[in-house]
Each structure stands twice: as C-alpha cells, then as structure tokens.
Structure 1
Amino acid sequence: MIGIALLYFGGERLVTNASALARSFGLTPYVVGLTVVAFGTSSPELAATLSSSLSGTPDMALGNVVGSNIANVGLILGLTALVYPLATGRSTVTRELPLMLAVSLLLWPVVQGGISRVEGAVLFALLIAYVMWQLKLGSTDPAAVEEAEREAAEEEAIPTGQALLGAVIGIALLVAGAQALVTGATALAQALGISERVIGLTMLALGTSLPELASSLIAATRRHTELVLGGIIGSNIFNILAILGLTALVQPLPVDVQSAQGDILVMIGFAAAALLLMWRTARLGKLGGLVLLAAYGAYTYTLF
C-alpha cells in the first residue's frame, strides 16, 4: 500500500513538472516523454536488472527488461487507451514506433551467445545517439515551439528550477514505490517456487513497470496523450539500449538463448501490434486497448 501511494504521488509530480520543463525549453511534451520521463521511469528496471545480474540471476535480469517492454505495450498502453484514446501525430507512427520495433529486433542477434561488454558498449552508444537526435528534433521543430507557447498560455507557469526539482522528486518517489512492490512480489514468487525467468518476466517486470503505469494513467486523465506515448516508446528503447547496455558493461550477461528467444519474439510481436493498430489513424482507441490487454493476459497465463 505504501508503494502504491508513492507511485501515485511520484507519477503526479513527474507528469506535472515534465510538462513544465517541456514548455520552458521549447520542447513538446512528447520529446520530454521520449527522454526525461522515459529515463526516469526506467530507473527501477536499471536497478533491478543490475542487481539481478550481480547477484548471479541473469535469467531474471534479461526477463525483467523483456517483460517490462511487453508490459509497457500490452498492459500500460492497453489500460491507458481505455481511460482516454491516445491520439498522436503521423511522425510517431512513421518514425518513433518503427524505431521501437527496430530496437526490439536488434535484441534478437545481440543475445546470441550472451551480451558481451563490447555489445553493451554498442547498445549504450546507440542510446546516446538516440537522445541527441530526439533533443535536436524537439528544439529545431517550429511546431514544438508553437505548442510549448500555446501550453504556456493555457497552464500556470512553473519556474524551470522548481520544475526540475519536482521532476527529480517525482522520479525518486516512483523508484521507491516500485522497489517496495518489487521486493515483496519477488519474495512471494520465490516462496511459491516460480522460476527466475518467470519472476523476471512477470513479478519483477510488472513491479518495475509500475512507474510507467502510474505516470501514464495520470497523464491520460489530464489528456497529455503525447506524454503517454513518448514515455512508453522511450522507455522501451531505454530498457534495451541503456539498461542492457550498462548491465553488460558492468558485467557480461550470459543468456539462455533457447528460453529467451520465445520471449523476445513476443516482445517484438507487441511492438509490431502497436504499430499496426495505430498505422492508419495515428490513434489507439478503446478497441485497440482491449486487444493489447487481452494479448498480455493470454501471454501471462501461458507463462504460469
């Protein structure tokens, strides 16, 4: 219960202050979602994956990342679309969602034989290039400046320093709340005799995805749909490039390829489903949300 409360207040603080940061720097909430929010809400996955790798449970480490990406699309996008339809611009459908799918596909050859330090360095280098590219797009796009000015006129201004501090506090609350839930859920799963892989794909993945769920649902109730989509797409890209990249740099990650390949295929399938559902209308409505939720429920059922 404490973890849920921390996640709610952390999500509220992060959404409010991330939107204010977007306005102060002339960036759209979507770009801030792809970078600041995505990194902040992915920090629990980083902590859990590093901890799992260093404690000698690599199956749980990889399962956490893959399971989080599946939960982000199947559970979080699905639930959020039921709260409020997610509409976006064509660039999300033609550029960002295909990029998320491409990064998901990249993981397939990378895991063959385990993830080495060299492969970790390549993944992390791709992350840096991705962040720089997004920031450049957001700061040079005239539409970004126009949208930031419009939102600044509609909402009460928050000083940049205060917004930055508020976002950091929001991220800290999200991390603390997720940690409280992950600890209990993992201990419970182990007590029930569930395998490391399934714990990583379900309990740990869901627990570390709760920041994305909390911030996405709060953003959806406030009609910040671009922040939702940017946060989910950015988080999935961060999870692979940053978390697996950094973890492999600290300690090479051995992979049970036979069991991991099926889960990675499911992750790729969810990324492709999100792209297909939004391709024609650049919108994810309630029907699409139900499709994603049903698929996530079916996948989780088969694991157990």
Structure 2
Amino acid sequence: MSVFLILLGLVCLVVGGEFLVRSSVALSFKFHISKLVIGMTVVSFATSAPELLVSLQAALDGVSDIALGNVIGSNIANIGLVLGLTAIISPLTIDKEFYKLNWPMMMLVSIGLYFLLKNDGKLDAVEGAILFIALIIFLIILIGRSRKQNKKVAADIDDNLAVVSGFKITLWLFIGGAGLYFGSEWLVEGAKNLAEDVGISDYAISVTVIAVGTSVPELAASVIAAIKKEKAISLGNLIGSNIFNIASVLGLTAIIKPIVVESPKILATNMFWMIAFAAILIPLVFIPKRFVISRYKGFVLTGAYLVFIYLALK
C-alpha cells in the first residue's frame, strides 16, 4: 500500500506541476509580463512547486528529515543522475556563462545552508527569509544581465498560452493545485509507511525514492531530447533548479514551519555529498576538454550517484 501511495503521489505531483506551469505562464501573459521574466521567475517557481509542497507537507507533519532529504537528494540527483545519464547518451556543450553567476550562487546557498543548519540544528523563519531574499536578489541580477546580453532564455515558452481563456486558466489552476496538494500528502504518507515497512529512516527514503521521483519529469525530458539528438538540457537550468530548491523550497517552508535536523546523516555526510556534486562541476567542465561534459564524465557522475544511493540506504 505504501508503494502505491508513493506512485500515486508522484503521478499527481507530475500532473499538478505541469498544469500549474501552464496556468502560471498563461496568467502571466494576461498581466503582460515579458517572456524573459516569465521564463526566469514564473516557470522556475512553478516547476519548484512539487518539491515545495512535499517539503512543506513533511514539515507540517513533523518529519523534517523528509523536507530536507527531498531537497538534498533532488539537488544530488539533478547533477549525478540527470546530467550524468544525459551526457552518457549525448555529450553536452556548456555555456561559458555558467560559472560567472549561476555556479557561484549554487555554491553560496549550498554552503550557506550547511552552516545555517550546523549552527543550531534547524532552519528557522528568519533564516528561511534570508535564503528567499537572496534568491530574489539573484533573480534581479540574472534578469538584468540577460536583458543586457539579449539572451533568448525564454525560447521554450509556448506563445499559444497567451491566448488561453480565463476559464481554462482557472481550471488548470484548480487541477494543478489539487494535484500538488493530494500528491504531496500521499507521497509523504507513503514514504513514512515505506520507511517503517522496510526498517530504514524517513530520511533515507526521502533522499533516494522521493528525490528521484521528483526529478523524473526533468530526467525523462532530458533523456528523450538526448536520444533524439535535440537540444538536451541546459546546465544553467539544472543549477537554477538546485538554487531554487534550497532558497525557495527550504526558504519558504522554513518561514511557514521551522525545519529541524533529526537525522545525524544530514550534517555528517549527505550535505557534503550535495556540496561535492556542485563543486565537481568546475573541474569536469575545464578538464581535460573545456566546456564539454563528455560521455566518460557522465559515467563518473552517474557512478558517483550510485555510490551515494548505496551508502544512503545502508
């Protein structure tokens, strides 16, 4: 029953997230927000909604380890699993801009999160607000830089959403909200039950099963694009997702309900795994062939991710 709840929860989160993205973009067009801003803010917030609802639901249910494990595991999966497997299928060329703003910001919030948690064993409302404000400042700088460089960061936004009726937007919002609400409840409940059934911690389930589950849509899209030899994933998008997971998901969750560190593994090992996966991108991008994530680098990332999963479930 617990596995069924987890699968049902994941399906609802995927469906709910997709409808929320569509309705958010369509609504943004109604308010005459530019595609650049929509792509870098509205879509980013909407695609983080499943992780946010799962972490918030877990925190409200008193299982903060799931809230933290969801984000830590998702950030590790984005680089180790999504980037690794995609590079194995089709080597990726990296934009030189990635290390000038996005990567330093990801390292800053990752290391910052570690010290905030290490300080008193929890992430409170003030600390959550600091993370969220840092995200807003980062987005303002990012949008400003993109406008100056005339970057087409919103090329994937569907222009047809600009002519969607108000009724359809309302319906999509309702479906998206319901999917995210019930999906997060069922996923957290299923994860708690599964942890009890197999005799491992809530945190181990969250950092593996839940984290991979919430990364499945991005993984599937990236792998299909790589197989078709289309433009696969943007390293900037993956880094952006990791920044949002920490600053938006954990930041907003902590503002509503403080997140307490319960599992010693969080600060002893897994936070270091997350920081290491983020840090290794620099040598991978520059050595030996610059600005290319080749197949063997993809194997290195995927292999490291499998080692992490094995150790997490021990």
Structure-2 separation of matches of 1:239 and 1:277? 23
- Answer whether contact 1:111 1:257 (CA < 8 A) is retained: no
Amino acid at match of 1:91: E
Query: Which SS does the other structure have where 1:232 is aligned?
Result: helix
Equivalent position of 2:3 in the other structure: none
User: How many residue pairs end up in the alignment?
Assistant: 289
- Answer whether contact 1:42 1:239 (CA < 8 A) is retained: yes
TM-superposed CA distance for 1:100, in Å, is: 1.4
TM-superposed CA distance for 1:182, in Å, is: 6.6
Amino acid at match of 2:117: V
Structure-2 separation of matches of 1:176 and 1:84? 36
Equivalent position of 1:99 in the other structure: 105
Matches for 1:264-303 after TM superposition, within 5 Å:
264-280=271-287, 281-303=290-312
Equivalent position of 1:238 in the other structure: 244
TM-superposed CA distance for 1:117, in Å, is: 1.2
TM-superposed CA distance for 1:299, in Å, is: 0.9
Amino acid at match of 2:301: L
Equivalent position of 1:57 in the other structure: 63
Matches for 1:1-304 after TM superposition, within 5 Å:
7=14, 25=34, 27=36, 32=39, 35-112=41-118, 113=120, 114-142=122-150, 144=151, 158=160, 160-162=162-164, 172=176, 184=190, 187-220=193-226, 221=228, 223-225=230-232, 227-256=233-262, 258-261=264-267, 262-280=269-287, 281-304=290-313
Superposed CA offset, 1:181-235 (max 9, x none)? 776555434321221121121122122222332343345446334x532331111
Superposed CA offset, 1:151-199 (max 9, x none)? 79xx99646345xx89x96994995997577765554343212211211
TM-superposed CA distance for 1:77, in Å, is: 1.0
Query: Which SS does the other structure have where 1:118 is aligned?
Result: helix
What TM-score do the two structures reach when normalised by structure 2?
Answer: 0.76
Superposed CA offset, 1:105-139 (max 9, x none)? 11111102111111111011111112222222222
Structure-1 separation of matches of 2:281 and 2:189? 31
Superposed CA offset, 1:48-96 (max 9, x none)? 1111111011122111111111111111111122232221221113332
TM-superposed CA distance for 1:99, in Å, is: 2.2
Superposed CA offset, 1:264-289 (max 9, x none)? 01100000112221135222121111
Moved more, 105-114 or 83-92: 83-92
Structure 1: gaps of 5 or more residues? none
Structure-2 separation of matches of 1:14 and 1:213? 17
- Answer whether contact 2:106 2:278 (CA < 8 A) is retained: yes
Query: Which SS does the other structure have where 1:224 is aligned?
Result: coil
Structure 2: gaps of 5 or more residues? 1-6
- Answer whether contact 1:67 1:202 (CA < 8 A) is retained: yes
- Answer whether contact 1:124 1:246 (CA < 8 A) is retained: yes
Structure-2 separation of matches of 1:128 and 1:156? 25
TM-superposed CA distance for 1:35, in Å, is: 4.1
Residues 133/156 of structure 1: CA separation in 2 closer, same or farther (3 Å cut): closer
TM-superposed CA distance for 1:237, in Å, is: 0.3
CA RMSD of aligned residues (A): 3.9
